[in-house]
Amino acid sequence: MATCCIAGCGPAGAILGLLLARSGVDVVVLEKHGDFLRDFRGDTIHPSTLDILDDLGLAERFLALPHSRVERFTLRTTAGETLSFGFEGLAAKFPFVAFVPQWDFLNFVTAEARRYPTFALRMNADVVGLIEEDGRVCGVRYRTETGEGSLRAGLTVGADGRSSRTREAAALPQTATSPPMDVLWFRLPRNANDPGDAQGIVGPGHFVALFDRGKYWQIAYLISKGGLDAVRVAGLQEFQASVASLVPMLADRVGELTNWDQIKLLTVRSDRLTRWYRPGYLAIGDAAHAMSPVGGVGINVAIQDAVAAANVLWRPLLNGPVTTADLAAVQRRREVPVRVTQSLQAFMQRQLLVPALAHGRPPRISPVARAALAAPGLRTLLPSLLGFGLFRPHVESPARLAAAP
């Protein structure tokens, strides 16, 4: 029996587990994998998340991990147009995005959480369903290498991602949209004399984004929704040629892509639950609202959910029971910021990405996007929303003040 069971040890689940454990709540986190080593997961740690780590006294140690920093993003077209925005103009302690592999982030957070006796992490525990009694969720059923088990809990939190089994089992109402693109992720070597910072390149019918990972470039290549089969039919050499034409400096390296297994598909979706909870259950992060990859904000929005949930729930979890009013308060704190962020992503998709994917048109940067980043009073709005979100939460006591034994 646990006071709180968290399904999924991604960024939201790990941070919530840490915060609740620091507050003295008995929490068990179940993770279906045996480690965190999965590539092309969200690894953009924005200023808002760095502020949260700073609330916990962990930012300095976290930034001692190997990472790269991006203060500015530049968008250019193959026709010579450029557009740039950055975080350096914000009143922020950490005016940059730190790129850290997600496995390093999760190992760091869970190692810190394990210092508290009220925290437990069970790996290789795949949550497959909910335990329900009299209309209330009372825990989870999970599968391990040795068989099935169950864990009863006063509160179950679904932090198990965009394909959440707990959300499906809870049968919560949902609204969804279908962004007009999917993303192919891959990496190519980075030379010491390559330019730094993140950059996006718009070409006829294509958009590609490059992120500096030190020894390699992580590359996002946008394709039209459902367009993977057409890309594969055209062949790997055609794909290599397309990348080289968009990013000439990579022309001598595209040959490193020797098979399609090196290129991972992210099926882009955007959805959100209209109700995040039912008695005994709460969804957060991608389980509550799958985000588009635009802006790299998904991991940070999920972490803000976890902070808001911990701020609201630590006291009722300690004193019991957690009511639906408590769970509704979490959604109330987070729903507007999530909807605003998804609307911002949709705007960026319409103004920057849809025109880029329009075959037969010359590459261009939308005049609306250019005006939005140039107008007085607006030039810091996009960096602020991407860097911090709306109504960003800070860690509240006692988690903020708790010190590990």
Q: Which residues pair with 125 in a beta bridge?
A: none
* Contact partners, residue 374, CB within 8 Å, separation at least 6: none
| Per-residue pLDDT at 6 | 98
DSSP character string of 339-373:
HHHHHHHHHHIIIIIHHHT-TTS-----HHHHHHH
What is the per-residue pLDDT across 189-226, written as a single tens digit (0 to 9) for each? 999 888 877 788 888 778 898 988 888 898 999 888 88
Q: What is the pLDDT of residues 241-258, one digit of tens each?
A: 999 999 999 999 999 999
pLDDT over threshold 60, residue 360: no
Strand, coil or helix: what is 119? strand
Q: Show the tokens assigned to 210.
A: 């490059």
Q: How far apart are CA 373 and CA 380, in angstroms?
A: 8
Please state which of the ranges 49-58, 72-81, 243-252 shows the lowest mean pLDDT.
72-81
- Residue positions counted in the chain: 405
Give the CA distances from residue 43 to residues 69, 155, 192, 346, in Å, rounded to whole numbers and listed in that order. Answer: 12, 28, 22, 21
CA dihedral 150, 151, 152, 158 (to 10 degrees): -110
What residues have CB less than 8 Å from 103, skipping those under 6 apart? 35, 36, 37, 38, 41
Does the pLDDT value for residue 262 go beyond 70? yes
What are φ and ψ of residue 169, in 5° steps?
Answer: -70, -30
pLDDT in tens, 12-28: 999 999 999 999 999 99
The pair of structure tokens assigned to 109 is 């957070």
Pick from 315, 330, 307: nearest CA to 19: 307
d(CA 212, CA 190): 8
DSSP 162: T
What's the pLDDT at 359? 61
Mean pLDDT of the chain: 89
Tokens, residue 388: 């911090």
Query: Closest Cα to residue 17, out of 285, 387, 381, 246?
Result: 285
d(CA 232, CA 112): 43
Distance CA 263, CA 245 (A): 18
DSSP-derived letter for residue 205 is T
Tokens at 41, concatenated:
């997961």
pTM: 0.92
For 279-335, how does the pLDDT look when each residue is reduced to its tens digit (9 = 90+)?
999 999 999 999 988 888 899 999 999 999 999 999 999 998 999 999 999 999 999
| Per-residue pLDDT, 393 | 92
* 344 CB neighbour count, 10 Å cutoff: 20
Q: Tokens 């609306």 belong to which residue?
A: 368
Locate the DSSP E strands across 306-346.
none
H or E segment at 191? none
User: What letters, b where the CB count within 10 A reaches 16 and e where it falls short, cover 69-99?
Assistant: bbebbebbbbeeeebebbbeebebebbbbbb
Report the alpha-carbon distance of residue 259 to residue 233 in Å, rounded.
Answer: 13
